[in-house]
Chain A
């Protein structure tokens, strides 16, 4: 018998035991319980929480800065980034006529101005911190190819943290959708698949296993 310390428990006594030899995989794919991978995951989760907190703080601060500007200028900046008015309206939570009204100089409520400033701040954060070059196009792209959920939809529904996670790459696209809509695989699954037909052109047909 030997005495040793286990990080997550009090002093334990355990028998000396040799692990059986193992057929190795090309990389550390296995997520075995209680091993270093598990510890790394815990650190990863803690790191992810810290990253999220910092991102939200930055976003809040940038939103506050943008809030000092005129609503017309904020909207012009968003439009210049390449967003369609309907997408801006959707993410801000208002109608397109309301946006047009504010662009003509009519006064917006503090809540709406804050939402517009928040969207512009989010775009700047994603561009500058996560090096996304064409931010409007990025917002329109499906998170996972073949599934219709985009950052526009997630932002419009208030899931900003997931949008930042997606932009930063701190979560895989599948993990982002798991956080947004846990049943996304079945909800958007389709029996159809694209394949190259005998004539060489792409066709759509029922997918076979």
Chain B
């Protein structure tokens, strides 16, 4: 892992959301004293309580079943960091990400608070997701080839040659690694995958009308780079281990920056992310 001082923080970062999800076997609901304890433990960083609600609709033939799950959720005062505690996952999100080390320190606090509020049976999956909306100073007919790697443009040049315009596209690539650099205590297998979702879009990739607030640039064309780096346990479900999770999150973060940097052009880096006109 590179040192925080070696990683450049772009003044005009295109990151709109960073999320970490720790998936675990279904646990007993966090309510009553456990929820009060959770609130106390998070009060310094996430003092605002706004319970979340998730609706899952399952259809079988002509019948649909709706399940509503309510979960404790705590937000920072500026509404830009949120921790949600579902019965089978803990999700930490931020729309004001600067450095991984800062994010990790909040993650440590949240993990510790969750474990104190009621121990988890184990860990099944850990994911770290970075969602970027790349916006450039061209409003009409953006030539994305000048800003992102041509490998992300797929058949776009083909369409131009045919006099056609691609109005919607989204690509998906799944990268696998041996997982050797990722270890988690008690796990006999360490599977690491990175999923890259990418493509041009219009408006916003992340909705505005949510409890989690985000900056609101003028809507317009953007290029989505959504990197999801995740680890899954093998046949064995290892125990919850706070230090193990911290190490795992650091391992998941390590290749994300390199992948992002390989997907953008020098022009984007210089003119947009650093704000230097060439």
Binding site secondary structure of chain A? loop
A172 touches B209 (CB 8 A): yes
Q: How far is the CA of A186 from the CA of B137 in the complex (A)?
A: 14
In the complex, the answer to whether B129 meets A23 with C-beta atoms within 8 Å is yes
Residues of A within 8 A of B (CB): 20-34, 172, 174-175, 178, 182-183, 185-186, 209
Known: A172-B209, A178-B219, A183-B218. A23 touches B82 (CB 8 A): no
Give Cα distance in the complex from A185 to B208, angstroms: 15
Interface centre among B19, B20, B193, B199 (most CB of A within 10 A): B19
Name B's A-contacting residues (CB within 8 A): 11, 17, 19-21, 52, 54, 73, 82, 84, 89, 91, 93, 125, 127-129, 131, 168-170, 172, 174, 193, 195, 197, 199, 201, 203-212, 216-219, 226, 228, 230, 232
Chain A proximity of B7: nearest CB distance (Å): 18
Residue on A with the closest CB to B205? A31
Check if A20 sits within 8 Å of B195, measured CB to CB: yes
Q: Is the CB of A26 within 8 A of B82?
A: yes
| A174-B170 in contact given A26-B73, A26-B82 (Cβ < 8 Å) | no
When chains A and B are docked, how far (Å) is the Cα of A167 from the Cα of B104? Answer: 41
B191: shortest Cβ distance to chain A, in Å? 10
**Are B21 and A24 in contact, with the CB atoms below 8 A?**
yes
Partner among B17, B197, B209, B230 whose Cβ is within 8 Å of the Cβ of A21:
B230
List 18 A-B residue pairs with CB atoms under 8 Å apart, sorted by A's residue number: A20-B172, A20-B195, A22-B127, A23-B128, A24-B21, A24-B91, A25-B19, A25-B129, A26-B19, A26-B82, A29-B212, A30-B207, A31-B201, A31-B207, A34-B170, A174-B208, A186-B218, A209-B11
B19 and A185 contacting across the interface, CB-CB below 8 Å: no
Please judge, given known A-B contacts A20-B174, A33-B170, whether A26 and B208 are in contact too, CB under 8 Å: no
Nearest CB in chain B: distance from A188 CB, A: 12
In the complex with contacts A33-B168, A34-B170, A182-B218, A27-B193 CB distance below 8 A: no
Give the distance in Å from the alpha carbon of A30 to the alpha carbon of B207 in the complex.
7
B237: shortest Cβ distance to chain A, in Å?
16
Chain B residues within 8 Å of A24, by CB: 19, 21, 89, 91, 127
CB neighbours (8 Å) of B174 from chain A are 20
A186 neighbours in B (Cβ, 8 Å): 218
The distance in angstroms between the C-alpha atoms of A185 and B216, with both chains bound, is: 9
CB-based nearest A residue for B200: A33
